Amino acid sequence: MDYLEGLNKEQRAAVEQMTGPVMIIAGAGSGKTRVITYRVAHLIRHGVDAFNILVLTFTNKAAREMRERINHLVGPDAKNIWMGTFHSVFAKLLRVEADKIGYPNNFTIYDTDDSKSVIRAILKEMSLDDKLYNANFVYNRISAAKNNLVSWQEYQQNPQIQADDFSSGRGHLGKVYENYVNRCFRAGAMDFDDLLFKTNELLKNNPDVLNKYQHKFKYLMVDEYQDTNFSQYLIVKKLAAVNENICVVGDDAQSIYAFRGANIQNILNFEKDYPELKVFKLEQNYRSTQNIVNVANSIIANNKEQLKKHVFSEKESGDKIKVVRAFSDNEEGKMVSESIMQERSSKGLKWNDFAILYRTNAQSRSMEEGLRKLNIPYKIYGGLSFYQRKEIKDLIAYFRLTFNPNDEEALKRVINYPKRGIGDTTVDRIILAADKHNLTPFEVILNAGQYLEKAPASLHSFSTMIQSFQVITKNQSAYDAALHIAQHSGLLKDLYEDKSVEGLNRYENIQELLNGIKEFSEREDIEEKGLDVFMQDVALLTNDDNDKNKDADTVSLMTIHSSKGLEFPQVYVVGLEENLFPSQMSLNSRSDLEEERRLFYVAITRAEYKLTISYATSRFKFGTLISCEPSRFLDEIDAKYLELDFTARPAPSGGSSFNDERNAWSRPSTGGGDSFSRPKPASPVKTTSVLAKAHVPSPDFKPSDTSNLQVGMEVEHERFGFGKVISLEGNKPDIKATIFFKEIGQKQLLLKFAKLYILH
């Protein structure tokens, strides 16, 4: 039992409760992953067969980390646990049971681009207006239906759905959905939503299969349960119905994926499904300082729908949370960048100790401009992933077609790449013939003389090439087969002959993919190492698996949604403005607003030691400069935990709240009187904010050489105005100057970044 000694009292209690329904409410930074891994290890150490344990996660990264930790605790048995993302685990299950629902075991998994391509083809064939039937809209509509287990038949028979579609002028959506399902089935393909939809269908229509897995998975654990949708909820409920040894772990305060179908009610109402439920609350935050935890608590306390808990930290109080106001989004980017530069220099930090979080991707522009001007290296997360690059998708399409010749999307992608004289007209005739004779396009190609009037000779050589690839993959390792396909398809040669910078990058990306396959071929922790197994892994990658350079020393920029599960020593949460954060779309209902508040909670709890919050009073939107109000969320933070950027003036007697400070800010009117809802102070109060009054630099302003700066000298700063040096400290090149500025009061600046003009 020594391995349990490192757990706190509540963690240990949760680990040792091995049977019955269990809910572990895990506050931010409370050691959730540690508890899950120790609980699984504890089960195995007490005689539970690893083959009887199912652990479901939302990222491959989380599953890998857990398996590594469990392996450290119990050894090789960890390999036998059914552990992975919902999609990867049930894709594995479906490959075993695919024949029960009419699918081949080697079915292809379509990514979003594949699905949208199929939809665009269907819309074209049905001659539907692409403005009303935008492929993105149709895809999201079908995805939402599948996540709510609404089949195309039920979709077409539901009066309310049909009424909504017809009233919006999209009365053919049900038929598009039907055609999409049939097209995927003909291609032997499932999309991501199908992996859960078809699992539900399998378990519902095959009682023997359900019984088999109910008795196989005697112990279930679900991570991030607050993020489950209806389809996931139902699968878990069915599988746990016999033994009820189900443990769910999550935090309702971090439920932020409603737009993906996540239903917070799954965790809020979990006790209704299991009245004998035992609940454990992990409330100690090991990540953040007390001030950061206190701010997060003061925010989330405003939500009505929540499971009550009191998160606390035993770390030092730490810095207060700084709130900064900028005149514009560009100035916000400049201020954040300058702050990062100064913090890194003064505290000896690395660039990757900093993260900038924002509500929408569009906000990255002003942040990027600020960082570039100071030559600060940065990386935007959530951009185009490695496996979404064209050249990578092209080679993978060859792999897909090799294992599943019925894969129509893969066929269309590579049939004439590299060019082999098979034009769009020929491809269209192949598709029409396939539809007419109820065949797959590849079957038409194999018998082109029978089904096509004019069949180019290159069709025969193409089909022969694919068939030769099928033979190669059966007899060679994943790497050797992949290299053979890359070479003999002509793809590698085509990229090599492109001597442009872009061509070189594309060629190097293919080499990187082949390197990854070789690494896969040499892994010792897996038994099956064929190219088909590698392809299954690639199809199920989650966003966290796509970045090949995660440890680079760069500032991280990302949306708050992308930041969930991450942590950084210093975090900047930018754009705290009404209609931006909370978003305008969230102001229509309390539930939507509460999700936005949970999103803010997630942003705050990413910070370990220092948190800075900023907003702008104006921002460009669709090319127009608009005035902005500070976010209502700022009012909800207890003022005693904050350091306001403009608080050099004496506080009013009896203390000062954040709202009092806000009322004192000097702001331009938006035409309707005071832009805040509260009355102004009775007598004018001079603000000392560094941003309250813009300083216009002197005509001859030019940064001076400050190597000989002395106490008593008068200087000018391009933003802070005129001031006098009152002290100098530190050694070159990190000398700090304390300067009293006439307009804003005392500031401490790092000389090498200060850009001061020495007056005399």
Catalytic residues: 32-33, 223-224, 254, 606
Measured in whole angstroms, the distance separating CA 434 from the mean position of its chain's CA atoms is 39
Residue with token string 């509509």: 141
Residue with token string 């992933």: 385
Q: How many CA atoms lie within 13 A of 382 on its CB side?
A: 16
What residues does 250 pair with on adjacent strands?
Answer: 25
Could you tell me if 576 and 285 are in contact, meaning their C-beta atoms sit under 8 angstroms apart? no
Binding residue positions: 26-33
Residue 29 backbone phi and psi in degrees, to 5: 70, 25
Could you tell me if 85 and 65 are in contact, meaning their C-beta atoms sit under 8 angstroms apart? no
* Strand order from edge to edge, sheet including 721-729: 745-750, 736-741, 721-729, 714-717, 756-758
Give the three-state DSSP class for 264: coil
CA distances 165 to 154, 474, 534, Å, are: 14, 48, 41
The DSSP secondary-structure symbol of 284 reads: B
Q: How many CA atoms lie within 13 A of 452 on its CB side?
A: 24
Binding residue positions for ATP: 26-33
- Both tokens of residue 211? 């019984």
Residue 624 backbone phi and psi in degrees, to 5: -115, 135
| Maximum distance among all Cα pairs of the chain, rounded to whole angstroms | 95
Torsional sign, CA 140, 144, 147, 150: negative
Amino acid at 507: Y
Query: Angle at CA 35, nearest 5°, toward 32 and 39?
Result: 145
470: part of which helix (H) or strand (E)?
Answer: helix 457-475
- Both tokens of residue 753? 């970044």
CA distances 444 to 426, 437, 463, 471, Å, are: 12, 9, 10, 21
CA distances 342 to 143, 330, 568, 689, 744, Å, are: 46, 19, 17, 19, 19
How far is 590 from 346, CA to CA, in rounded Å?
43
